[in-house]
């Protein structure tokens, strides 16, 4: 069954929203649920690290595997596993069982990566920047609505179980969407003979060696810098904000919603910004320099401010510049990538993000214990400033996908 590309794009939006909305439902209550089961803060942090670690390892393999047997097959298989795991988390009370299930989720939870590779495969190059921006806006809407609704559901008796059931059902809907609407384009490179699971995985791992990693080194470095600085800012965000400005948890939650809203607006206008100010910036050099410059300045502003209103003004600049950078780095990565390796590269880019998520909580905790909770904002500014220097050295000519495929 072949689906019209415009119709497929609409279903990609829906699938992306359902995926992130399901995750954001659970985020506010997961730590509290684990604490109620007797977990220490160290164990809760360890579960987060294990999830990031399994994502880090599995990302390139899942992406490369999708290059071999098709995006649709991998999309459906991973969502079957992940939806079952989310349902299971709501009904088990063993911390170690939850730890194992979280690790399994980490291995297979790559829906956003697969959706981006589907976009890269099937959407014309000139439309991809706008589409990636709109997908980022969808993410912002998801993370605006999800935590608020999840927080309300938590107040019911057995609320966490209800949340997990809702998340599992939402992810199961993506199985249906993947089967009906996210079919692959005909690809003569797909194997004619069906191989065993072991053969497919081995071949997927082996194909990673065919990727020219030097070509993507600076992009991965910029992505790591961006994700690490963001992770430092968001580490223990609610606790830091409540302590610093003496506000309620409810109000700190509204600041998150405000930032998500700003991200949505930025994503909507990203195409206009590119066409208006960066029409001749073919290698993305100026965009990266400006993006990291505003990001670093915003972190410094947040570090020095003493009023919540001024803090919100700085977070407006910060959220806009970070959203801008996320979109252009994704676009930059995909334009350099040969069509046969989009899954491998997208999976590896996701692993770079997970490496940052793996390192950042430990780094933030060290600095917060050694100095103060606000010190990580200064560190985030330094990390973002490194991105300016890396961006400055981006080559002035960029090879696009057509030239290297």
Out of 25-34, 189-198, 338-347, which region has the weakest mean confidence (pLDDT)? 189-198
What is the per-residue DSSP string for 332-352? HHHHHS-GGGHHHHHHHHHHH
pLDDT of the residue at 4: 75
- pLDDT tens-digit readout, 344-395: 677 677 777 877 877 887 777 777 767 777 888 999 999 999 999 998 887 6
- pLDDT tens-digit readout, 211-255: 566 677 788 889 999 999 998 888 767 667 877 888 775 677 678
Secondary structure tally for the chain: helices H, strands E: 16, 0
pLDDT of the residue at 133: 73
pLDDT of the residue at 341: 66
Query: What is the C-alpha separation between 197 and 280, in angstroms, rounded?
Result: 46
pLDDT of the residue at 333: 81
Reading the block at residue 263, the tokens are 């991200």
The residue extents of the domains of the chain are: 1-189+197-210, 212-397
Does residue 58 contact residue 106 with C-beta atoms inside 8 Å?
yes
- pLDDT tens-digit readout, 310-347: 999 999 999 999 999 988 888 888 777 776 666 667 76
What is the per-residue DSSP string for 289-324? HHHHHHHHHHHHHHHH--SHHHHHHHHHHHHHHHHH
Give the residue, 203 or 258, on which the prediction is more confident: 258
Q: How confident is the model at residue 305 (pLDDT cuts 50, 70, 90)?
A: very high
Superfamily covering domain 1-189+197-210: MFS general substrate transporter like domains (1.20.1250.20)
pLDDT of the residue at 404: 43
Out of 17-26, 135-144, 382-391, which region has the weakest mean confidence (pLDDT)? 135-144
pLDDT of the residue at 139: 81
Give the residue, 373 or 293, on which the prediction is more confident: 293
Out of 141-150, 203-212, 288-297, which region has the weakest mean confidence (pLDDT)? 203-212
pLDDT of the residue at 235: 74
- pLDDT tens-digit readout, 95-126: 999 999 999 999 999 998 899 888 888 888 77
Does residue 377 contact residue 235 with C-beta atoms inside 8 Å?
no
pLDDT of the residue at 260: 80
Q: How confident is the model at residue 405 (pLDDT cuts 50, 70, 90)?
A: very low
Does residue 354 contact residue 52 with C-beta atoms inside 8 Å?
yes
Query: What is the C-alpha separation between 23 and 46, in angstroms, rounded?
Result: 19
Q: Is the pLDDT of residue 84 over 90?
A: yes
Does residue 171 contact residue 83 with C-beta atoms inside 8 Å?
yes
Task: State the sign of the Cα–Cα–Cα–Cα dihedral 39, 87, 68, 339.
Answer: negative
Query: What is the C-alpha separation between 39 and 132, in angstroms, rounded?
Result: 38
Query: What is the C-alpha separation between 49 and 87, in angstroms, rounded?
Result: 21
Task: State the sign of the Cα–Cα–Cα–Cα dihedral 64, 135, 386, 391.
Answer: positive
Mean pLDDT of the chain: 81
pLDDT of the residue at 396: 56
Percent of the chain predicted with pLDDT > 70: 82
Query: What is the C-alpha separation between 65 and 346, in angstroms, rounded?
Result: 12
Please name which of 141, 92, 85, 82 lies closest in space to residue 113, comparing C-alpha atoms. 82
Give the residue, 17 or 337, on which the prediction is more confident: 17
Q: Half-sphere exposure (CA, 13 Å, Cβ side) for 326?
A: 26
Does the domain at residues 212-397 carry the CATH identifier 3.40.50.360?
Answer: no
Q: Residue 130 contacts by C-beta under 8 Å, 6 or more apart in sequence?
A: 270, 271
What is the DSSP-derived secondary structure letter of residue 283?
T
Q: Half-sphere exposure (CA, 13 Å, Cβ side) for 241?
A: 22
Q: What's the pTM?
A: 0.67
Find the helix packing angle between 213-234 and 342-370, rounded to 10°.
40
Reading the block at residue 147, the tokens are 């935590």
Burial classification of residue 271, based on how many CB atoms lie within 10 Å of its CB (0-12 exposed, 13-18 middle, 19 or more buried) = middle
**Nearest-5° angle of CA 249, CA 253, CA 256?**
145
Provide the phi-psi class of 235: left if phi over 0, else alpha when psi is between -120 and 50, else beta.
beta
């Amino acid at each position: 069954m072949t689906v019209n590309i415009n119709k497929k794009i609409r279903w990609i939006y829906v699938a992306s929203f359902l995926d992130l909305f399901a995750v954001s439902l659970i985020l506010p209550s997961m730590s509290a649920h684990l604490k109620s089961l007797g977990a220490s803060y160290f164990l809760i942090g360890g579960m987060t690290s294990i999830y990031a670690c399994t994502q880090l390892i599995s990302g390139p393999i899942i992406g490369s595997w999708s290059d071999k047997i098709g995006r649709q097959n991998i999309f459906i298989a991973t969502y079957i596993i992940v939806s079952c795991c989310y349902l299971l988390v709501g009904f088990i009370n063993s911390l170690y069982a939850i730890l194992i299930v979280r690790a399994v989720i980490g291995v297979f939870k790559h829906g956003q990566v697969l959706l981006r590779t589907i976009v890269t495969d099937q959407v014309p190059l000139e439309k991809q920047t706008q589409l990636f921006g709109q997908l980022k806006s969808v993410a912002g809407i998801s993370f605006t609505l999800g935590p608020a609704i999840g927080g309300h559901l938590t107040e019911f008796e057995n609320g966490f179980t209800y949340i997990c059931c809702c998340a599992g059902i939402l992810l199961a809907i993506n199985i249906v969407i993947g089967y009906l609407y996210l079919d692959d384009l005909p690809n003569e490179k797909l194997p004619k003979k069906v191989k065993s699971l072991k053969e497919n995985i081995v071949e997927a791992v082996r194909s990673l060696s065919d990727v020219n990693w030097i070509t993507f080194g600076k992009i991965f470095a910029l992505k790591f810098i961006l994700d690490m600085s963001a992770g430092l800012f968001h580490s223990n965000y609610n606790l830091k904000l409540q302590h610093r400005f003496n506000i309620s948890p409810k109000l700190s939650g509204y600041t998150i919603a405000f930032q998500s809203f700003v991200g949505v607006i930025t994503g909507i206008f990203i195409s206009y910004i590119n066409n208006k100010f960066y029409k001749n910036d073919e290698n993305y050099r100026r965009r990266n320099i400006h993006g990291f410059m505003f990001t670093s300045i915003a972190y410094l502003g947040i570090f020095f401010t003493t009023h919540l209103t001024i803090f919100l003004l700085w977070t407006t600049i910060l959220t806009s510049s970070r959203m801008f950078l996320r979109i252009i780095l994704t676009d930059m990565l995909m334009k350099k990538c040969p069509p046969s390796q989009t899954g491998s590269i997208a999976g590896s880019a996701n692993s770079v993000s997970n490496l940052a998520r793996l390192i950042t909580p430990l780094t933030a905790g060290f600095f917060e214990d050694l100095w103060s909770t606000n010190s990580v904002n200064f560190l985030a500014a330094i990390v973002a400033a490194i991105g300016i220097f890396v961006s400055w050295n981006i080559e002035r000519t960029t090879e696009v996908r057509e030239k290297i495929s």
